[in-house]
Structure 1
Amino acid sequence: MMISLRLHLRLPLLLYAVLQVAATVRQSREIIITDAVRRIQQDGYNVERHVVTTKDGYVLTLHRIPQLHDLFGTVLRRPVAFLLSGLYASSDVWLLNGREDSLAYLLWNAGYDVWLGNNRGNIYCRNNVWLNTTEREFWNFSWHEMSVYDMPAQIDYILRTSGATQMHFVGISQGGTVFLVLNSMLPQYNAVFKTATLLAPVAYVSNTKSGLAKIIGPILGTRNYVSKMLEGVEMFSTNKFFKKFLSMTCLENEKPLVCITRLWPVVGYDTRFLNKTLLPDLMANFPAGGSVKQLMHYFQGYVSTKFRQYDYGPERNWLHYQQLEPPEYALENVTTPVTIFFSENDYIVAPADIWRLVMRLRNVEAVYRVPWKRWNHFDFICGLGVREYIFDNIVRTMNRYEQRPR
């Protein structure tokens, strides 16, 4: 009893000591926790924060890096690039590599009006006109709702505000999912996009290497008591103190075992190309929040081997879709010129699933296999080599379409 009491009393002191050591090791580097405006300003760029409300009441935040006139400071009309992050991420992921290597800054330097999108449930989008975050109904959404509500609201707002009639799109992981679903369900939006670049897009997942899918997928990817109970549940905490603690446990001068352990379900075991110096920032900004239903929708795809709408079970499917099984997304409706990047080592998206997606699309501009054999899912954003390979190919395609508009 005395030993237990002493340990209990010492735990706060031990925790404080760990935080102090971590802070000392990284005292020359400030970690910014989910504050894209502040991060962009500190990197030396102008930034705007915009708010838009979806038809079903979710209040979304967009971040813009505008092109300004050198003398008058007015916003210049330039080609628009709209970037959308992946599962449980936010606009911050496009900024973590700093001013030299972040895709958002590189596109701005190339002359683009850069907009960073966010989806319902992440730390920038936790408000609803009618619901609050303590209600289950607030969290009862998957990436389908992000596609048919969040994307149109953000796209329409960007076009209206920028004065542009078309834009370029870049999405990673779930960002690619959302783009594909949007243009399948609402094909009129194809005309809005000059090009679309999808980095490791998640559509078909039947060949995934993910241990989570193999172990938990058969449970949460089917209709049962557990999956029904989790439909209105938040997935991750967005508490900033908790994120700061996780960030400070990632020491730069040693192998960040706790960080890799936390990341492996997403990036895989082999993270040799992941920029390890970014791990404290990554831990402070990922995950950024979302619903369990987002993940369950992917698990349903793993079980069914199809890319289709959410499965509510036969009875509710009939009410939603007037058929017993959910309909598949009509990928043939996607007519935007699409460029896809993938890796043979991707822990989430297998090459076989990428090629299955490619065969369904009508207008594939190019398919790039990244040249690094150990390149993994998260490397597309925070990996070494983004500037030298991915950006060059993206901006080359964008510039070509700027010279020959659709």
Structure 2
Amino acid sequence: MACSSILEVCTAPAADGGICELRVALYGYACEEHTVTTRDGYILSMQRMPMGRSGETGGHRPPVLLQHGLLMDGITWLLNSPDESLAFILADSGFDVWIANTRGTKYSQGHTSYSTDDSAYWDWSWDELVAYEFPATVQYVNDQTGQKLHYIGHSLGTLIGLVSLSQGIQMDLLRSAALLSPIAYLGQVSSALARTAAKIFLAEDMYWLGIHEFDPKGQPVENLLKVICKTPGVDCYDLMTSFTGKNCCLNSSSVDVFLDNEPQPTSTKNLIHLAQMIRGGTIAMYDYEDEEDNIKHYGQPTPPVYNMTSIPNDFPLFLSYGGADAVSDAQDVQILLENLKSRDGDKLVVQYQDDYAHADFVMAVNANQVVYDPLMAFFKLQ
């Protein structure tokens, strides 16, 4: 094992039970397990697919970093067969593929000071994913490859990317970004499950009950879901659809893989932050709901707002959204696009797929032709 003291990183062959062994190596692809320690002490796993099925490493292989969404991990990009999953497709198309795994998920539960049993371990929202995880993973990929990289986010991964770009974080190390089912503004979320949870302050109630880890497979969350499931309009016989919208193009085998590996834990504080976005319709830092606390953290009585118009107009963006998406609602996406309208003409590619819902962008059997081919064509122009 080789380690570096600069970012406290280590590399190793595919670990027993890790994502490389579980979802990559079994298809005959090379895969490396990496770890990165963030400045706030979280030890994150990353997977690298340095080549495709052919095994050829020749030529220029641009690096691309994949960032999953809420309640998911890096397996997001490996749920289908190699001909249908984005990570495999990118590797076979000449890219050097890096897969991120957010703190708290199964393979990223290490910390330099805390265990997952400590409430302090779960004291974060997506603000910290922007401030610490995004720069650490981008820097690591750049250090390992010596190249600028492309970024792909799905769902919460797009929010992390957009806010990081608006803050100018690691801009000099990035070539472009692709945003699949973009999450920025959430005021028009039509997901009955998400809207109801935000309306009844579910995450806040959990937090004050001392539940700092939101584990979808844990008993406390199951008990609270039973409460939501009694709400008119929430169909708990199909939780995925109730949350994501009606996905058009999933097959049963990928859903089985999903159910075997997901959903993953996150922090209750992270869900509070997202609920604040749904209720407020803005993109702001975490609101401590108390002027004195906000002043202590931010030097002002209300949280600072993230400004999407601050993303440089010459930075290339590929954005793909769906008409059936209940989380990344088309109306909210239009607000985001309005904020991006001053971009240079060839630096924003927008794709709309009328029948796609939230999960289709990473699980649809036809996503290769519908979304990934145009995405890779966009990358190759940058």
TM-score range (shorter-chain normalised) is: 0.7 to 0.9
- Structure with the larger strand share: 2
Residues 272, 368 of structure 1: alpha-carbon distance in 2 compared, 3 angstrom cutoff: closer
- Which residue number in structure 1 is paired with residue 339 of structure 2? 360
The two structures, once aligned, show a CA RMSD in angstroms of 2.6
Pick the aligned partner of 2:292 from 315, 320, 326: 315
**Matching of residues 241-256 of structure 1 within 5 Å:** none
Q: CA deviation at 1:227?
A: 6.0
Q: CA deviation at 1:231?
A: 7.7
- Which residue number in structure 1 is paired with residue 310 of structure 2? 333
Moved more, 315-324 or 50-59: 315-324
Residues 283, 315 of structure 1: alpha-carbon distance in 2 compared, 3 angstrom cutoff: same
- Which residue number in structure 2 is paired with residue 393 of structure 1? 374
Whole-angstrom CA distance in 2 between matches of 1:191 and 1:126: 29
- Which residue number in structure 1 is paired with residue 254 of structure 2? 278
- Which residue number in structure 2 is paired with residue 59 of structure 1? 43
Pick the aligned partner of 1:163 from 121, 125, 146: 146
1:223-281, Cα deviation, whole Å (9 max, x unpaired): x6x26526861111679xxxxxxxxxxxxxxxxxx99623233322x234222221110
Does the CA contact (< 8 Å) of 1:67 and 1:76 recur in 2? no
- Which residue number in structure 2 is paired with residue 180 of structure 1? 162
Does the CA contact (< 8 Å) of 1:259 and 1:279 recur in 2? no
Residues 272, 398 of structure 1: alpha-carbon distance in 2 compared, 3 angstrom cutoff: closer
Does the CA contact (< 8 Å) of 2:50 and 2:57 recur in 1? no
Pick the aligned partner of 2:184 from 199, 203, 211: 203
- Which residue number in structure 2 is paired with residue 112 of structure 1? 95
Q: CA deviation at 1:218?
A: 2.6
**What amino acid does structure 1 have at the position aligned with 2:100?**
G
Moved more, 75-84 or 312-321: 75-84
Q: CA deviation at 1:216?
A: 2.1
Whole-angstrom CA distance in 2 between matches of 1:227 and 1:315: 23
Whole-angstrom CA distance in 2 between matches of 1:231 and 1:398: 45
1:350-406, Cα deviation, whole Å (9 max, x unpaired): 111101111223535111101xx33210011111310111111101101111xxxxx
What SS is found at the alignment partner of 2:319? strand
- Which residue number in structure 2 is paired with residue 218 of structure 1? 199
What SS is found at the alignment partner of 2:241? helix
Pick the aligned partner of 2:329 from 328, 342, 350: 350
Does the CA contact (< 8 Å) of 1:339 and 1:365 recur in 2? yes
Q: CA deviation at 1:325?
A: 1.2
Q: CA deviation at 1:206?
A: 0.6
What SS is found at the alignment partner of 1:369? strand
Report which of the two structures shows the higher radius of gyration computed on alpha carbons: 1
Q: CA deviation at 1:294?
A: 1.8
Q: CA deviation at 1:48?
A: 0.5
1:270-321, Cα deviation, whole Å (9 max, x unpaired): 2342222211101012112211222221110111111111100222111111
Structure 1-normalised TM-score? 0.79
How much identity, in percent, do the aligned residues show? 28
Structure 2-normalised TM-score? 0.83
**What amino acid does structure 1 have at the position aligned with 2:240?**
L
Whole-angstrom CA distance in 2 between matches of 1:281 and 1:96: 6
**What amino acid does structure 2 have at the position aligned with 1:328?**
V
Whole-angstrom CA distance in 2 between matches of 1:177 and 1:349: 11
Whole-angstrom CA distance in 1 between matches of 2:152 and 2:200: 32
Whole-angstrom CA distance in 2 between matches of 1:230 and 1:195: 42
- Structure 1 residue runs without a partner (length 5+): 1-31, 240-257, 402-406
| Correspondence 1:265 to 2:242 | yes
> After TM superposition, which residue ranges in structure 1, 4 or more long, deviate above 4 angstroms?
68-71, 73-77
Residues 99, 74 of structure 1: alpha-carbon distance in 2 compared, 3 angstrom cutoff: closer
**What amino acid does structure 1 have at the position aligned with 2:37?**
T
- Structure with the larger helix share: 1
